[in-house]
Each structure stands twice: as C-alpha cells, then as structure tokens.
Amino acid sequence: MPDSAVIPPVAAKIPLRRLHHGDAVIDDYEWLRDKDYPEVIAHLTAENAYTEARNAHLEPLRQAIFDEIKSRTKETDLSVPVREGGWWYYSRSFEGKQYGASCRAPIAAADDWTPPSLADVAADEPALPGEQVLFDSNVEAAGSDFFSLGSFDVSEDDRLLLYGVDVEGDERYTLRIRDLATGKDLRDEIPGTAAGAFFTPDSRHVVYLTVDDAWRPDTMWRHEVGTPADQDAEVFTEPDERFWLDVGLTRSKRYLVVSAGSKITSEEWLIDAADPASEPHLVWPREDGVEYELTHAVVKGEDRLLILHNKGALNFELVDVPADNPQAEPRVILRHDPAVRLEGISAFRDRIVVEYRRDGLSRLGIIELDADSGYGELREIAFDEPLYAVHADSNPEWAQPTIRLGFGSMVTPSTVYDYSPTTGALTLLKQQPVLDYDPAHYEQRREWATAGDGTRIPISLVYRRDLVVPGTPAALELYGYGAYESSTDPYFSVPRLSLLDRGVVFAIAHVRGGGELGRQWYEDGKLLAKKNTFTDFIACVRHLVDAGWTAPDRLVAEGGSAGGLLMGAVANLAPELFAGILAGVPFVDALTSILDPDLPLSVVEWDEWGDPLHDPAAYAYMKSYSPYENVRPGVKYPPILAVTSLNDTRVLYVEPAKWVVRLHELGQDAELKIEMVAGHGGVSGRYNAWKERAFELAWLLDRLRLAD
C-alpha cells in the first residue's frame, strides 16, 4: 500500500471572492489557474513528486503490466489497405518505435477492389510492391516530447501531401504541404489551425478552420497552394459562440459541406466543390432545437440530399430533398421509430449505409439504390455475439462494390470486414493480433440495475471464466461516462487483460446522459436532469454488490473528462461504496468553468449543462453537484487518483489540481498526476501511453489489494 509517511504538498490560500445571483463564494485555490506563474508550476511539480513517492512500491508491478501489454502486442504490424483512387493506403507500426508510418502502393488494376493480403514483413522491407512511405511520424516527431497529427490528406492528383502537426497538446495544428515526388515541403505554412483540413478536388486549394480565443472552430478559410497564408480567403465565420464550425467533402466529391452546430441546433451550407470560390448556399435555416446532417446521393439520376434530422422526431428520421431546392417538401425514407436511434448515414453510388442503435447496441444497415424504384428496404447486417460494437470503417470511394466495417466486443479484438451487399457475405480481412490470448477463457454478459425512479440501467461485464464465479464477490472495476449522448459500447482492450487475468471483473455502467438507449436516454441525463447520471452509477454499484459480483471494499471506479465529473460526484454522494476512484482529466470544477464565458469551450457547453451565468436555477443546480464545491468535511473518502495534462484545452488542469488540494486540506487520500507536455488525450507515443496505463492499472490493483 502507499507510503503513509509521505506528506502531501500544501498549497497557499489566496482567497478570491465570486458573486453570482446573490451567492458569494470564496475560492482559496483559483490562483492555480495561471500556469505562467512559477509558484503554480512549483506546486504541480510537488504534486507529481508526492504521487510518485507514494506509489514507488508499485514500480515492479508497473513494469510487469507494461511488459504484459507489450508482449501481447504485435509491434511490427500493418493495417488493412484502403483503396482510394489508384492506390492502396495503409499504416505500419515498427517494433521499438513510438509512432506509425503512413504508406501507399499502386493498385494492380482498375477493377481491383480486394485488399492485398499482407504477410509478415520485416520493418525495413516494403509491405507491397511499389510501396511509398508518405509520412513517418517517428522521423517527424524527433526532438518533440509530444506529437499529434490533426490533418492528413493526399491531393486528388496524387502529387501533394497535406499534414497538420501539434507538438504541445493544445490541439492547434501547423499545416504544411509536401511534394511527394521530392519529399520536400513547400513554402506553405499555416499555424494555429483546427484538425481536419483537406484538399479540394481540383488539388489547387486547401480548406481549413481556425479557432477563436475560446478554442472554438469559428472560421473557414480557403488557401491556394503556393501562396502566402496571409492571402487566404475567409469563406465563412460563425459569430454565435454556442456554435462550432465543421467542413467536409461529400463522398461523391460534388459538394463541400459547411456545418455550424451547437449542442442542440445545427445549420448547413453547400459549396460547389468544382468551384470552391463560389458562394455557400443554405440548406435548412437553423431552428432552435433542430439538428440535422446531410450527404449527397444520386437517386434515379437526380442529385438529392439525404438529411438525418430530429424535427418532430426525437430519435431522428431520414428524408431526402432535391439538391437544387433543399427547402422543398422532404420525402421520408426512414420514419421515426421510438425504439431506434438513427445516428449516421453514408451515401455511395449504388447504396446507402445507415448506422443506428437499438436495444442498447450499435447496428449497421444497407439500403440499395434502384434505377427504377429509387430506395430499397433497409437490410440489417447481423452478428451473433450478445454484446458488440459495429461501425462503418474507412470507405472513401463513391463506386466501391463492398462496405468496409469495424467490429469488436469485450472478448473479440478489433476486427475489419468487407461486406458484400450483393451476396450478404462478410469477408474477414484482419483481426487485431493479440498474442497469448484465447477468447474462450473470457465471458461477457449484460446485467440490469434499477434506478430509484424505476429506470433500468444496462451494465456490460467481462471476466475470466476460470477466475470468477458469478455470485461470488470478486474484485471489480466499474467504468462510466454518461454525457454528450456519447455511447460507451462494449469494446476490447489489451491493457484490460492485465486486470482480467488477475481475477478482476471489468464492467461498464451505461448511465443516462450517454446515448446507448436513444435520444431520451441522453435528455434524461443533462441540464436539470444531470444528477440521474450520478445516481444511475450508484444504482449500478449497489446492483453489482447485491447480485454478488463484488463488495464495496473490492470495487474501484474509473471515468474520464465528463466521466471524471461523474467520479467526483459519486465520491461525494456515496464514498463508502468504493475502494478507490481513478479520475482522468476530470471536469470536477464544472461550475467555475461554465461561469466564465472567456474560458475555452464554456459557452458552447451551456446547452449541455445549463447557463449558470444568466440562469439562477442552473447556477443552483450545478453548485449542488459540482465536485469541487461539494467535498464533504468529516467524511472518509476512498483513495483518489486524478490524472491530467498541463496543456489540456478541453478540461483545464486547474480543475483536478484544485480538487486534490481541497481533498488534501480535509485530510483525504488523494493524488494528482500531471503530464507537463500533453493534452486532453494524455501523452503521445504508444510506449508512453502503455507506461501511463500501467501506472493507472497498478494503482487500481493496489486499491483492490491485488498488487502482490
């Protein structure tokens, strides 16, 4: 167990008075927000030293877990090639190297749609004849403590590579263009961009977004290759601080789609991709509370827009309209179904792929396009596992005859298939290699907890058959998120095997606020219903204890970002139910952040959490659950580990820093681990990430009394 003789650092108290809606609050630790202040860095460094000292006894276990992750990973490997134009594109990884390389090789023939089978090859050998290494991140990352690619695109004429790099972790990328014939970068350089830039189909222009001071993508630009960035054309600016901009290209390459979206409202414009300098034209004007997304299809020879929307359709419905008259009366393709949440659409020359959710699981369906009748019936692709996740994978080609999809479960590693719509056959292309792993040794199942209001909450579990007997209490980790309608679907994890193989049950609480059971599931866990997320998680804990899966002294909890808020809230509400809590980049000072419209992302979050700056009811409600505001004196908390990054722009490091200081002040067992050069996703590089995860898993096992 941790060394109790190590003394936590003590932060100075510098009172700051905050007054809203007649409520005065004194915050002694808000001064920790200024990371340019030397005393702040000194304090964070001391917190790191304290955490390292307390966990020094776990170094052998951390190394053992790291070695287990590494030994189960095929370090020199290749992805399944994806055809785009006249090339197969794929990525490679290499033993001993942190990052991968992006490659391509020419297709054998125009009708060649079957990806080549990639045999094992040495790291210094080409994987396919004619292989070109487009971008080796190991080379590009040399000398940087952090490295992340936010944009990556090859021009339509195959001559140029566009890439965007972040070396701080703040998600601001510098764009550059490389001549693939010479391997040299052009003079073009555009700093401070958002992720997702791309070439227009003419290969002459780059479309990109920049962010405002609150890190909100707000402006779309068009850059002409070979010209200075200060001559770039400002195409579109979104002035409403609640809305983010996004821009993409339809698979048909017919339109650029400019999207402005808040948490509850969206609006989209089209630009003729053949004339990227032309004016955008509006599809549907924004209407408060109405969300929609579109893509282009050709139906019976006519350009149509497929629109997925929620106007009068809580779980969304699919309609189409003429591309040249989008505000005409829509034609319904898939009607609203209260049991089915439509989530996404992809249009191809001959068919439409629909992603949706039913009974808590993701689904994929195909609608064939017929030259005579137009739209066929939706045909679902079936899978035989009780719990799984499926999604449309990389499918860039308009006329491709197969659909690439990704599949996995809590016992099945990530798997790539090609699906033939004409035969209904699934062709296995690759399954993530996991060395020394036998899925027959593991079991996954679903349980249902009952919340205080009678709502049934799904729980997904996985464990080793030979180490866990259902009904006999075992060590258990319960994970939760529950926000933004983001679904935590059953997924496979190599690091998780280091828990399962030590007899730990892993479980996911699919609490309200997520999207697992449709839009209403999300609505019932946001704004003034947010506390349902927290009480659902506690109901899941009680169910797992009552059903004999575990006991409070053998249960740890984990969540990150908004799931970190969940961790802080349940620690306040029911600290006696947990042996330990791991909170990653936790949103634990939510009220302070959302009150300040100048902070990154605060205004855009008002539709998710409420607007406490202007609404007294939202202020009072958020104050009643925000973890930092509600740490309880005189109550014994479980051990808490908060993990964060100094350059995180989504959840600022100061939130967990203040929370841990407050817990220390009250004599609680709390630790802060902060990466000094990283962002919201943590460290970069796979070996670094494995070391970080090994640290966290060792900490969890120690709290479960399994460190030995």
Which residues have a catalytic role annotated? Answer: 561, 648, 680
Burial class (CB in 10 A: 0-12, 13-18, 19+), 231: exposed
Q: What is the 3-state secondary structure (H, E, C) of 17-30?
A: EEEECCEEEEECCH
Q: What is the largest CA-CA distance in the chain?
A: 79
Residue pair 522/513 in contact (Cβ under 8 Å)? The answer is yes
Cβ atoms within 10 Å of 285's Cβ, excluding its own: 8
Place of tokens 């802080």: 568
Q: How many helices (H) and strands (E) does the chain have?
A: 12, 40
DSSP lists the bridge partners of residue 347 as 352
Do residues 418 and 392 lie in contact, with contact meaning Cβ atoms separated by under 8 Å? no
Any idea how long the chain is?
708
Cα 88 from Cα 94, distance rounded (Å): 19
Q: What's the first-to-final CA gap in the chain, in angstroms?
A: 10
Residue 79: CB partners within 8 Å, gap ≥ 6? 90, 91, 92, 430
522 DSSP 8-state letter? H
Q: Are 32 and 634 in contact (CB under 8 A)?
A: no
C-alpha distances in Å from residue 580, one per residue of 356, 472, 570, 638, 670:
36, 20, 12, 5, 10
Interstrand relation of 266-272 and 281-282 (parallel, antiparallel or unpaired): antiparallel
Distance CA 169, CA 137 (A): 16
DSSP-assigned states of every residue in 99-121: S-EEEEEE-SSTT--SPPP----
Q: Residue 163 corresponds to which tokens in the numbers above? A: 């890439």
Q: From 594, 541, 598, 603, select the one nearest 566 (Cα to Cα).
A: 541
DSSP 598: T
